[in-house]
A and B are shown apart, each in its own frame.
Chain A
Amino acid sequence: MLVESLNLARGQFALTALFHILWPILTISLSGFLVVVETLWVRTSNIVWYHHARFWSKLLLLNFAVGVATGIPMEFQFGTNWGPFSEYTGQFFGNILGFEGAMAFMLEAGFIGIMMFGWERVSRRMHLFATAMVAFGSSLSAFWIMVANSWLQTPAGVAVVNGRLVVTDYIAAIFNPDMVWGVSHMWFAAMETGLVVVAGISAWKLLQRRNVEFFARSFRLALLLLLIAAPLQIWLGDSSGVAVFETQPAKGAAIEGHWQTNAPGTGANWSLLAWPNADTQANDWSIEVPGMLSLLATHSLHGQIKGLHDIPKADQPPMLPLLYYAFRLMAGIGFLFMVLAFWTAWAMRQARGHLDVLLAQRKLLWAWVLAIPLPYVAVECGWIVREVGRQPWTVYGMLRTEHSASAIAPAALTGSMLMFSAFFVVLLLSFFVFARRWLRTGPDLSLQPPQARMETGHAHGIDY
């Protein structure tokens, strides 16, 4: 029974986590994008920026709603399905989740009402402040969640007292070895998502020749920001990879299908493609580049990389092919964005600002449209690498997953799993229906900026 409950609980966590993360990544980046757009509006008083703010914020609201709706099961699942884990880690992990709810999420939720419905009631500057608080709150939210998650990857600053963890050093626990890389890699992944979505939607509209001036502007702005974000993300990904090989050698070896620890003075081979097989403890086949893995993972020619052979089978991550290919897909998409961004920048430079030339680049624009789902795929793959790669531990090296789950009846878990699945399907479909309608309607270019009315005693409507 317990094994069944454990697997059901794991399945439920995987489902809710993979579904939930789809939404906050866009909230984080789109709110940041709106800050940029609104700042331009406040600075230049150019009404185009106001229209941008109004148009893109509707997508944010729609997205935010689903994010909140799917985030609540995430938080409470730790208690319902992972009771022993919660008892063991509550003093740090629970504490950090508390920070997230109180500091970050509350900030976001408190100001999103003003951001969405307050255009008529506050001044431009106050509205910009509200938008900035939403953006700050959502990023802060990501920060605390990633602190909690990175601590599960590389726990630090704690000691076990009477079977429970006690924090001995908060600074060490928060700034655990994975934290800086975990936080920044995730934050840039979110940024890339929003920018690719904005650029992709704009490209779609440009292909249709709808509101060309408007969407050319958002396309350019997103591209400009992506030219900065995409290379930075590759650097961050590389750096966090190096950190993984240092702090979580089993995960590192698993994502690269690396079995044999290389002898001193030699470099470890890197498999470009392979099929790792846990049963035979070897790759069924592989295409290898000699000495390359040492270079990639340690940035030195002869850096030693621990192979899976030197890790007890019970401590090896499961689902090796999944890890292996999820990692490659994620990294590949990251490179693709950089190529796409620079290719487009080059094409636009050739065009010297002529809109017609941009519009004639139909292949390029189509590439952007087709790129819209890719950041989502990359983020999902990243989380699979991160979470499956940490197995068989919930707290790396300290608490095993099999000791973390509550003894909930399988029927109850199955029931809630079915309920979540049904809800997720409805949420996703509804979101698509409404997002499509929003997209078809397009921006309302006749919208006039409000004169901030602050006088009291008047009945005000709430402008949706």
Chain B
Amino acid sequence: MTPTSTQDLLSHAWFGIIGLMLLLYVVTDGFDLGVGILSLFRRRQEDRDLMIQSIGHVWDANETWLVALGGALFGAFPLAYSMLMTQLYVPVMVLIASFMMRGASIEFRHVAHGSKVFWDRVFGLGSLLAALAQGLILGRVISGLVPGVESAIFVAVTAIGVASGYSLLGATWLVKKTTGQLQGSARRSAVVAVCTTVLAAIVVSLGTLYFSPVGLSQWQDSGILHVLMLLGVLAALAFVYVLYAIFTGGEHSPFAGASLLFTVSFAGLAISLFPWLVPGKLSIAAAASNSATLTFMLLGIGTVLPIMIGYNLYQYHLFRGKVVLVKH
């Protein structure tokens, strides 16, 4: 194997790992951000207690995927990290602010007495802001960081799309974790959210063709087009499945369906943008660190990745089942 192809292989492996981390991040933190967003709509303190309790033991580990992702991007693709962070200064700062709001409020609310409602709202608002900021970042990346009114509208749609997608994950998570009236309202939220999410996803897909500097050329490749069409069919099936699962009273299946929908959309996006990190500006090859760094990182992070996933799964297993309110 020539040195260039080793470098090629390694940088693509890292593209894959970072993609996997991103997927794990959006699905896991997606549902707890979604629960936060939905908590904004609940008046009863008891409902909010249950909702936030249902994510209390995992939100932190979920968010950590982003921290790991940031570090991995920094090490494996320093140019992309620096370009994205600098160009996306404002949404990144909003994202950081929202994480600080969430992180502090979720612990402070446990010990708060009179100010509990306040911290609950900070948590909900932080969750909403985080989702919107992430949607903004996504939209800006797809449209190749190009300024303009049209792309601003596109970015607004991706922001709403991400927020409603997370709400869908959050709502189906609540279906899984709660009972009774709260579960009922979570089912209704899920129906609304799945429709807005799919609508936004369609608009974003069409917008990608128009706005992304690489989207169209990618879709003209017949091999890729077939894969994308297959993913589209899968997404449609997942959409129908989520609705079916909600209406037939499924407990776990709505969340599974929503996760599938997310995974499929994510794969579609990744394929549409490949091999670009920032469409039209920065490719995998241009941004990647050299082989030595990529290999070293692979030894370090690649080997702990399955372990990380393992103890996260253990945690989910440990806290399985419905939540019931515990006063303290």
Contact = CB atoms under 8 A, between A and B. Distances in A.
Interface in B77-135: 77-79, 81-86, 89-90, 92-93, 96-97, 99-101, 103-104, 106-108, 110-112
Contacts of B78: 86-87, 89-91, 94, 164
B93 A416 contact: yes
Interface residues of B, number: 69
A427 B71 contact: no
B9 to A, nearest CB: 18
A98 B79 contact: no
Given A84-B82, A110-B311, A98 B64 contact: no
B312 interface: yes
A423 B318 contact: no
Q: Chain A interface mostly helix, strand, loop or mixed?
A: helix
Most A-side CB within 10 Å, residue of B78, B99, B296, B323: B78
A433 to B, nearest CB: 9
Interface stretch (B35-43, B164-172, B264-272, B299-307): B299-307
B236 interface: no
Contacts of A93: 74
B56 A69 contact: no
Contact of B300 (A103, A114, A457, A458): A103
Interface stretch (A70-78, A248-256, A315-323): A70-78
B321 interface: yes
Contacts of B141: none
A191 B69 CA distance: 29
Interface in A63-119: 64-66, 68-73, 75-76, 78-80, 83-84, 86-87, 89-103, 105-107, 109-114, 116-118
Q: Chain B interface mostly helix, strand, loop or mixed?
A: helix
B292 interface: yes
Given A65-B103, A86-B74, A437-B111, A103 B304 contact: yes
A459 B177 CA distance: 10
A434 B112 contact: yes
A94 B324 contact: no
B308 interface: yes
Interface residues of A, number: 77
B107 A62 contact: yes
B324 A461 contact: yes
A242 interface: no
B321 A419 contact: no
Nearest to B320: A456
Contact of B70 (A61, A76, A96, A114): A76
B44 interface: no
Given A91-B290, A95-B293, A463-B328, A116 B57 contact: yes
A79 B100 contact: no
A372 interface: no
Contacts of A364: none
A359 interface: no
B93 A100 contact: no
A419 B97 contact: yes
Interface string B315-328: 10011111111101
A83 B86 contact: yes
B134 to A, nearest CB: 13
B60 interface: yes
A403 to B, nearest CB: 14
A430 B104 contact: yes
Nearest to B59: A113
Contacts of B70: 75-76, 79, 97, 101
A460 interface: yes
A80 B85 contact: yes
B103 A68 contact: yes
B60 A91 contact: no
A72 to B, nearest CB: 5
Interface string A201-212: 000000000000
B23 interface: no
A66 B301 CA distance: 26
Contact of A98 (B72, B93, B106, B111): B72
Contact of A94 (B67, B74, B311): B74
Contacts of B53: 461-462
A79 B112 contact: no
B61 A106 contact: yes
Interface in A418-464: 419, 423, 426-427, 430, 434, 437-438, 456-464
B296 A167 contact: yes
A452 to B, nearest CB: 11
B259 interface: no
A52 interface: no
A366 interface: no
A122 interface: yes
B71 A461 contact: no
A27 interface: no
B92 to A, nearest CB: 6
B68 interface: yes
A97 B74 contact: yes
A242 to B, nearest CB: 31
A437 B110 CA distance: 12
Contacts of B159: none
A98 B68 CA distance: 6
Contacts of B84: 79
Given A94-B75, A103-B301, A86 B81 contact: yes
Nearest to B108: A430
A166 B296 CA distance: 12
14 contacts: A80-B92, A86-B82, A86-B85, A89-B78, A90-B77, A90-B81, A95-B75, A95-B76, A97-B74, A101-B64, A102-B301, A114-B315, A117-B319, A459-B321
Closest 4 CB pairs of A and B: A90-B78, A79-B85, A94-B74, A98-B71
Interface of A: 61-62, 64-66, 68-73, 75-76, 78-80, 83-84, 86-87, 89-103, 105-107, 109-114, 116-118, 121-122, 161, 164, 166-168, 170, 406, 408, 412, 415-416, 419, 423, 426-427, 430, 434, 437-438, 456-464
Given A79-B70, A94-B71, A430-B108, 9 more contacts: A69-B104, A78-B85, A86-B81, A91-B293, A95-B297, A99-B297, A117-B319, A412-B89, A415-B93
